[in-house]
Structure 1
Amino acid sequence: MFNSTTLRARTTLNSRFGPSLRWAGAGLCLCALAVLVACGGGGGGDATTAGSNTGGNATASAYTAGAISGFGSIIVNGVRFDDSSADVLDDDGVRHGRDELKLGTQVEIESGSLNRTTQRASASIIRFGSALLGPVEAINAASNQLTVLGQTVEVATTTVFSDGLSGGLSAITTGMVLEVHARLDTARAVYVATRIEAETGATAYQVRGTVASLDTTAKTFRIGNAVINYAGVATVPTGLANGSNVRASLQTTAVNGQWVATALKSAERKVGNHSESEVHGLITAFTSVTAFSVDGLAVDATNASFPDGQTGVVLGARVEVEGPVVNGVLVATKVSVEDESHDGRGEDYELHGAISGLDTTAKTFTLRTLKVSYASVTLWRGITEAQLANGATVEVKGSLSADRSTLTASRISRED
């Protein structure tokens, strides 16, 4: 996960498989796939292991990683997780309140088994964090991109902006300090943002990414276009090397063109055994169609089915992978290629709750602190527009408006 100061971006691990798993043949690829993880660096002991133990048994039935795409309690990839009893932690293990969990926030969830009929589960641990925290150095509105701490950040149709950035990309100016939740597309060296927040009064910056141009004599390396000097870091991750994934805390002022690191930790993804898993994410390392990584998690697809064929399974592709996680490797039973063309076309986000601030003239109301427009609803279920009222409990599905300030509802249903 990512460190943090403080919809449907789809990186979920949860699956439908029970105890009677067929892992025959999985061991044939585990060593090769371990190399895929190691190619990301090594850094072992500094990275947080989700659901891991030394006995090799699963400590949680399901593991989910991705952006929050809705509330009620929290929704990640269509699954509603009851977070009422969950511990909410940042990447350094510091406890936080549930109000830190915002739309588009990247999270990891440890939970009980998924109920595939109701698409619900009970979360026990929720970890959250961001990829970048730092100043905006350049803005390219034509390409929907900006540069933060030397990293290219892409604003997608599903990127959520915080209340302080009403207007979306047009509200951002150079020099502004932002916190960016994102997935790293290694094929393009671009951070695809799921949430962007304005940060004032930041006492430290941070960047998570892949080490390049490591100079162990000068104690410097690059992440993207940022040069980082780690000479003053007391503890360096074991196995630091080109290709390592690290998380660096930085001073807020560059010195001689270099960002000065105050702490350096491994950011390698480590996932314990889980009998259920489903991954929605980007292919971030690729050896073959049967040996690759999704958002840093190694996948053995030797015995998997490919309902969409294998042609689209390439570096940078967005895929859905199902299967158990065994010794840090997702043993796939199914690999599907996801179609990004449907993003922003109706139902990227889902909210559940009580209506407030109803404005029948503007055709808007507030739900879970987010402004909702019902002017373009195409499907009403159990409720009509005339029956909308403050206090009514509804389910809303929709997409963000162009300026990312409003959820444009396509479907509204009554909830009892």
Structure 2
Amino acid sequence: MSEPSQPNLYLTRRHWLALAASAVSGCGGGSGVSTASLPGTGGTGYTQGSISGFGSVFVNGVEFDDVMASANGSIQIDGVTVTSDYLRLGMVAGVQSERGVDPAPPTVRRIDVWSIAQGSVLQIPRVIQRIQRTDGTFAESAEFTVAGMTVQTDPNTSFYGVAFASDLMPNQVVMVWGLQAGTDGAHWTATRVEVRPMGMAMNMVSTGVVYVSGSQRLLNGLSLSGSTAGTLTVGALVRVQGTWSPASNSLAVEHSKLLGSGLVFQPPGHDEIEVEIEGFVTDTPTASGFMLGNIVVDASAIAPISTEVKKGARVEVHGTWQSGVLKATEVELETEQTLQTVELKGVMDSFVSKAEFWVRGQRCDATGITKVEHGTLADLKQGVEVKLRGSKAGDVVMVTELEIVVDD
């Protein structure tokens, strides 16, 4: 296995995302279920969602050209500046972009990625459901506890270091990226789970709503201590990082990030910012709106909402950000096929066989294909640039189409 050695990806300073977003940057690949006309076609935009591929980078099914952002240091993971080579499938990213002339993809101005949890797995994960797909691959839904959080996985979760959540063992250290799955801020559905090397120094990260018991501030059952903890507002949705003491189940908070109304990447305070946000419906919709994570969505402009948009549904919402409310102009239901589909373009980092090779840090299996566009199976080797399409199966992408890039 060959991939860029990971930097120490935890929050090293308080980092606030400055947006200059004025137009939706694109539509995703889900099925449109409720829509109104979208304004404008030019300028800049803001998109938040899980990474679904690399060509440059795909978020919510939209390709963004990240070459300049990577070159000028405008990509960060947990506050650490990185190149685009460190981005991975399933990481939740906030993308500022600038539209070019069609059909060219929007140009990335900035990408910010934040993990929602880091820490040791405390118990053996609980498997909720395990199924076998028609192609013979397996998928499961499971849950485990890390940093006081209940993290759920589903067949759309990407993994690194294990094939499924059920393979996790107590005391393994993991990083988790995900989407808020409950209004309490403590329940999240993982879009990516990554096992970190044993012995690697990492502080704990936990995300949730601050509450008080007596005079003690708590987050996800963890007692918060230190001067930074004292500044946290009760009832606020925050991401905190610090040193965990297992004896007292307390977290000495070193850094915190206010998530406000549920956006991991906080938009600026002025009104009428146009955005595209991926998330889970966390409350039963009314005729004119619903909750997306902790975000209030006003869908009165497209009411009545489709009956497919219900609690637990994973959707993309397009609209404008106005006074802390997302005014929806379109709601797209994300289908299983869309969530499973992966597109990768890059040089083969390593090649063992067609059953095991790596592109953009992702393990791939092409045993299901019999032909290669612009070449043959014998031409596949380390260093060859390829473009492929496939579906997620735990920590592997099962390749259904593959071509050798001969003229880019």
Taking structure 1 as the reference length, the TM-score comes to 0.72
| 1:405-416 equivalence runs, <5 A | 406-413=396-403, 415=405, 416=407
Could you tell me which residue of structure 2 aligns to residue 12 of structure 1?
A: none
Could you tell me which residue of structure 2 aligns to residue 35 of structure 1?
A: none
Q: Which of 79, 88, 91 is matched with 1:105 structurally?
A: 91
Unpaired runs of 5+ residues, structure 1, are 7-45
Instruction: Say if 1:127 and 1:152 are closer, same or farther in 2 by CA, change over 3 A.
Output: same
Could you tell me which residue of structure 2 aligns to residue 228 of structure 1?
A: 223
One-letter amino acid matched to 1:376 = G
Could you tell me which residue of structure 1 aligns to residue 346 of structure 2?
A: 353
What's the CA shift string for 1:164-207, capped at 9, x where partnerless? x1444354210122111111200695321112222343342110
Instruction: Say if 1:352 and 1:257 are closer, same or farther in 2 by CA, change over 3 A.
Output: closer
Instruction: Say if 1:336 and 1:69 are closer, same or farther in 2 by CA, change over 3 A.
Output: closer
Instruction: Say if 1:276 and 1:395 are closer, same or farther in 2 by CA, change over 3 A.
Output: farther
Distance across 1 between alignment mates of 2:67 and 2:107:
8
One-letter amino acid matched to 2:121 = V
| 1:151-190 equivalence runs, <5 A | 151-162=149-160, 165-186=161-182, 190=187
One-letter amino acid matched to 1:154 = Q
Distance across 2 between alignment mates of 1:90 and 1:78:
20
* C-alpha contact (below 8 Å) 2:347/2:359 kept by paired residues: yes
* C-alpha contact (below 8 Å) 2:65/2:107 kept by paired residues: yes
* C-alpha contact (below 8 Å) 2:298/2:327 kept by paired residues: yes
Q: Which of 84, 103, 120 is matched with 2:67 structurally?
A: 84
TM-aligned CA deviation for residue 73 of structure 1: 1.5
One-letter amino acid matched to 1:48 = W
Instruction: Say if 1:110 and 1:136 are closer, same or farther in 2 by CA, change over 3 A.
Output: same
- SS for the counterpart of 1:277 is strand
Distance across 2 between alignment mates of 1:83 and 1:191:
28
Q: Which of 106, 126, 141 is matched with 2:111 structurally?
A: 126
- SS for the counterpart of 1:271 is coil
Q: Once superposed, what is the RMSD of the aligned Cα atoms?
A: 3.4
Instruction: Say if 1:228 and 1:263 are closer, same or farther in 2 by CA, change over 3 A.
Output: farther
Could you tell me which residue of structure 2 aligns to residue 17 of structure 1?
A: none
Unpaired runs of 5+ residues, structure 2, are 1-7, 22-39, 129-141
Q: Which of 180, 190, 194 is matched with 1:193 structurally?
A: 190
Distance across 2 between alignment mates of 1:388 and 1:292:
51
Distance across 2 between alignment mates of 1:338 and 1:412:
25
TM-aligned CA deviation for residue 393 of structure 1: 3.8
Could you tell me which residue of structure 1 aligns to residue 210 of structure 2?
A: 211
| 1:224-303 equivalence runs, <5 A | 226-230=221-225, 232-233=227-228, 236-237=231-232, 240-242=233-235, 244-268=236-260, 269=263, 270-272=266-268, 276-284=274-282, 288-303=286-301
- SS for the counterpart of 2:123 is strand
Distance across 2 between alignment mates of 1:324 and 1:220:
34
- SS for the counterpart of 1:193 is strand
TM-aligned CA deviation for residue 234 of structure 1: 6.3
Instruction: Say if 1:99 and 1:400 are closer, same or farther in 2 by CA, change over 3 A.
Output: same
* C-alpha contact (below 8 Å) 1:61/1:274 kept by paired residues: no
- Would you say how many aligned residue pairs link Structure 1 and Structure 2? 351
Instruction: Say if 1:204 and 1:383 are closer, same or farther in 2 by CA, change over 3 A.
Output: same
One-letter amino acid matched to 1:85 = M
1:331 aligned to 2:330? no
What's the CA shift string for 1:122-142, capped at 9, x where partnerless? 101111110001111112353
What's the CA shift string for 1:186-243, capped at 9, x where partnerless? 069532111222234334211011234x23x5222242xx232235436513xx123x
Distance across 2 between alignment mates of 1:381 and 1:276:
41
Could you tell me which residue of structure 2 aligns to residue 38 of structure 1?
A: none
* C-alpha contact (below 8 Å) 1:180/1:197 kept by paired residues: yes
Distance across 2 between alignment mates of 1:110 and 1:176:
34
Instruction: Say if 1:295 and 1:100 are closer, same or farther in 2 by CA, change over 3 A.
Output: farther
Instruction: Say if 1:281 and 1:388 are closer, same or farther in 2 by CA, change over 3 A.
Output: farther
- SS for the counterpart of 1:69 is strand
Instruction: Say if 1:49 and 1:412 are closer, same or farther in 2 by CA, change over 3 A.
Output: same
| 1:364-379 equivalence runs, <5 A | 364-377=356-369
Distance across 1 between alignment mates of 2:172 and 2:240:
20
Distance across 1 between alignment mates of 2:201 and 2:114:
15
TM-aligned CA deviation for residue 5 of structure 1: 1.2
- SS for the counterpart of 1:65 is strand
Distance across 2 between alignment mates of 1:114 and 1:160:
31
One-letter amino acid matched to 2:402 = I
- SS for the counterpart of 2:245 is coil
1:313 aligned to 2:340? no
* C-alpha contact (below 8 Å) 1:158/1:343 kept by paired residues: yes
Distance across 1 between alignment mates of 2:102 and 2:314:
23
1:51 aligned to 2:42? no
1:389 aligned to 2:380? yes
One-letter amino acid matched to 1:412 = L
TM-aligned CA deviation for residue 340 of structure 1: 3.9
* C-alpha contact (below 8 Å) 1:398/1:411 kept by paired residues: yes
One-letter amino acid matched to 2:398 = T
